[in-house]
Structure 1
Amino acid sequence: MTSKVGFISNCLEGSLEEKLKIAAKLGYNTLEVACWPKGSAKQCDIDASDISKVDLKKIKLLEKEYDVEISTLVFYENMLEADLLKRGENIMHLLNVIELAQALEVPYVGTYIGKDVNHDIGANLVMMKQIFDPILEFAAKRGVTVLIENCPMPTWSLEGNPSTISYTPELLTAVFEILPQDNFGLNYDPSHLYWQRIDYLKPLQQFKKQIKSIHVKDVTLNGVAWDRYGIYGKYLNKKHQYDFGYYQDTLVGYGDINWQQFFARLTELDFTGPIQIEYKNSNGYGKILDPKRGLKLSRDYLTEVMETREV
């Protein structure tokens, strides 16, 4: 079973060095680093737009000083964006992040496939191959593996509809049949399957070859609200874009997912990749306003649950 446990860096403010220092202090030994374009609200901990201006040596020394390894550089955006100009910008930035990963000797780059909302799933799968074949070839030449996440991204849609094509076992099967490259894998998040009422344990076996990294956050599901809103969630009187009515994300250990069982299954499958906490400050259970405190609670919980996993 893996001993690599970290978090996604954009839950914290401050420099990359400050985040590495906090990670080390809280007992983490790896980090998933946000690499959106400079100025993005989703943060740019390392600017991939011009690698010549990045102090690569300093970053490697910081990793060594704090004993925290950067396992993944991430830019989770829509690579099939309907706006062709925006799509081109997203693809170009992803290629820059891949080059940065090579320069820093980081094995993984995380992103989304996304979706062109003007076309059906079949057409999107065709576009996916056309776009991702050259991306994966580019990454392979640089020793980098590209990971996608199994999130439907309903917040990209005004009405909360799925905005990616890789969020169910059916769709993931098609994706990996079309793109069978060895340097293409999955950053698996069980919470997205749980709120869709899909078994989140079975895909671990089915996609064990593709699962290279795990995202950890919890989720609570309200069955009474489900009966009112349905799987697509709340449409009227939303308090915010994440108000789906029947479920909400929360800190690991504060929700419904059976993490003992989940980690037991990973152990059976000899999983050795990184476990990355996707910090969520929910609007109810597990509400922690200070992300550093939330990360400490999450680390303490994972330490316990990974040692007492159920078989």
Structure 2
Amino acid sequence: MILFSGCPGGGPKDTQPNWVTCPWPPDFLEVLDYQWNGVAIPFWTQEAKFARDHGVKLAFEAHPGFIVYNPETILKLRKACGNTIGANLDPSHFFWQGIDPIAAARALQGAIHYVHAKDTRVDVINTKVNGTLDTKNYGDVLSRSWVFRTCGYGHDEIWWNNFVSTLKLCGYDHVLSIEHEDSLMTPKEGLEKAITFLQRVVIREKSGKATWF
């Protein structure tokens, strides 16, 4: 099952999420302690047990705005709540955070439950001015620091070759699920282009026994 971790408020009486992005002022550390130890870990421990009892794995998509947003926080929740919890590795959310999804796949070895195939184009000019935290509408492509793109329109085939190869090396040889959120293409065109692109990238055959060593 693919899901998000959610983001608790900053305290028991809060009604809105509170995403902490830095450790100062120290109030933020108190918020993080409450969110993780007071809410997220107890909640997801119970949910993970229910999922495990029913033969279901929980694949968390790391997404900024939630408490699980990078490999470190995925592994933190997994360590606290058990191996039923793992990653839905979506490279698109890592690109714009400055995370290398290939390095992330290696860090998440053994904990990758599912993979989304979605690309991101980081606008070098806008990022130099405003950084990558961007709340402008996704349709405002020219002004945004980054936008989601169809596979191949943010990173080239060589990158995707390396990504797929790394997934295989790390023990993941399963689905690449195309997710379309490209503001410049219709869902039909984006899906068709992604399929054509990924057909050249996916490794279909088992490597078999090597004869050269």
TM range (shorter): 0.7 to 0.9
CA distance in 1 between partners of 2:202 and 2:117 (Å): 12
User: Which residue pairs with 2:80 in the alignment?
Assistant: 178
Aligned counterpart, 1:165: 67
Q: Which residue of 2 aligns with 1:254?
A: 153
- CA distance in 1 between partners of 2:7 and 2:203 (Å): 39
- Which amino acid counterpart does residue 130 of structure 2 have in structure 1? Y
Residues 307 and 171 of structure 1: CA distance in aligned 2, closer, same or farther (over 3 Å): closer
Other-structure match for 1:132 = 44
Aligned residue for 2:132, secondary structure, equals: coil
Given the alignment of the two structures, is residue 111 of structure 1 paired with residue 3 of structure 2, yes or no? yes
Please tell me the root mean square deviation across aligned C-alpha atoms, in Å: 2.0
Q: Is the 8 A contact 2:126 2:145 kept in 1?
A: yes
1:23-42 equivalent positions in 2, closer than 5 A: none
1:1-311 → structure 2 map (5 Å cutoff): 109-119=1-11, 120-126=31-37, 127-152=39-64, 163-179=65-81, 181-233=82-134, 238=136, 240=137, 243=140, 245-256=144-155, 258-282=159-183, 287-289=184-186, 291-307=187-203
Distance 1:129 1:170 in 2: 15
Q: Distance in 2 between matches of 1:188 and 1:302?
A: 16
Q: Which consecutive residues of structure 1, in runs of 5 or more, have no partner in the other structure?
A: 1-108, 153-162
CA distance in 1, matches of 2:109, 2:89: 10
Contact 2:10 2:34 in 1 (8 A): no
Distance 1:281 1:274 in 2: 20
Deviations 1:153-173 (A, max 9, x none): xxxxxxxxxx20111233223
What's the CA shift for 1:182?
2.6
Instruction: Return closer, same or farther for 1:259/1:241 CA change in 2, 3 Å cut-off.
Output: closer
Structure 2 unaligned regions, length at least 5:
12-30, 205-213
Query: How many corresponding residue pairs?
Result: 180
SS at match of 1:213: strand
Contact 1:215 1:277 in 2 (8 A): yes
C-alpha displacement of 1:111: 1.1
Residue pair 2:119, 2:153 contacting (<8 A) in 1 also:
yes
User: In structure 2, how many angstroms separate the alpha carbons of the residues matched to 1:262 and 1:256?
Assistant: 11
Deviation at 1:307, TM superposition (A): 4.6
Give distance in 2, aligned partners of 1:210 and 1:171.
12
Q: Which amino acid aligns with 1:303?
A: Q
Map of 1:55 onto structure 2:
none
Percent pairwise identity: 24
Runs of 4+ with deviation above 4 angstroms? 241-244
Q: How far, CA to CA, are the matches of 1:173 and 1:185 in structure 2?
A: 8
1:135-154: CA deviations, max 9, x gaps? 111111111111110111xx
Q: Report the secondary structure of 1:201's partner residue.
A: helix
Distance 2:118 2:138 in 1: 18
Q: Distance in 1 between the 2:114 and 2:185 partners? A: 25
Counterpart position of 1:86: none
The CA distance in 1 between the partners of 2:138 and 2:200, in whole Å, is 33
* TM-superposition CA deviations, 1:25-55 (whole Å, max 9, x none): xxxxxxxxxxxxxxxxxxxxxxxxxxxxxxx
Aligned to 1:59: none
